[in-house]
Homo-oligomer: A and B are copies of this chain.
């Protein structure tokens, strides 16, 4: 650790959050689409994220390299066990952030938008505080 690591730690952490963000959103999306549709296709993900199918195609390849999804040419995308576990964790965290924003009075539309970005920067400690606050508000 360099002398200024303490100073730059928050920004280093933010950069790390961003490096894992897409994988998290992808497995979450694949889980959601798979549960309703039964089959998650490349085009579904392209529509979901608002990007081209080419971008999705390459990202799915990366997720496969990381062991999070399994797919074959021209076949649907499925989550591996590892991918499923990650998806569940992300879905729970996302839901906690979203419900917390609602609980403090943010309107549903803004809460949905903000939660999509915020979720990736919430540490376990902060997440726990969100849970407690949401509970408190519901009493």
> Chain A: how many interface residues by the 8 Å CB criterion?
42
Contact B121 A106 (CB under 8 A): no
Among the listed B18, B48, B101, B115, which residue makes an inter-chain contact with A7, where contact means beta carbons less than 8 Å apart?
B48
Q: Shortest Cβ distance from A138 into chain B, in angstroms?
A: 15
Contact B121 A107 (CB under 8 A): no
Give A48 to B2 CA distance when docked, in angstroms: 12
The interface stretch among A57-65, A68-76, A124-132 is A124-132
- Taking the complex as formed, is A12 at the interface, i.e. its CB lies under 8 A from any CB of chain B? yes
Contact A8 B117 (CB under 8 A): no
- Taking the complex as formed, is A47 at the interface, i.e. its CB lies under 8 A from any CB of chain B? yes
Given contact pairs A106-B125, A126-B111, A5 touches B50 in the complex (Cβ within 8 A)? yes
Contact B133 A10 (CB under 8 A): no
By Cβ-Cβ distance, the 7 closest A-B pairs, closest first, are: A8-B50, A117-B121, A10-B116, A14-B117, A4-B47, A110-B125, A10-B113
Binding site for B on A (CB under 8 A): 2, 4-5, 7-14, 17-18, 25, 47-50, 101, 104-107, 110-118, 120-123, 125-126, 129-130, 132-133
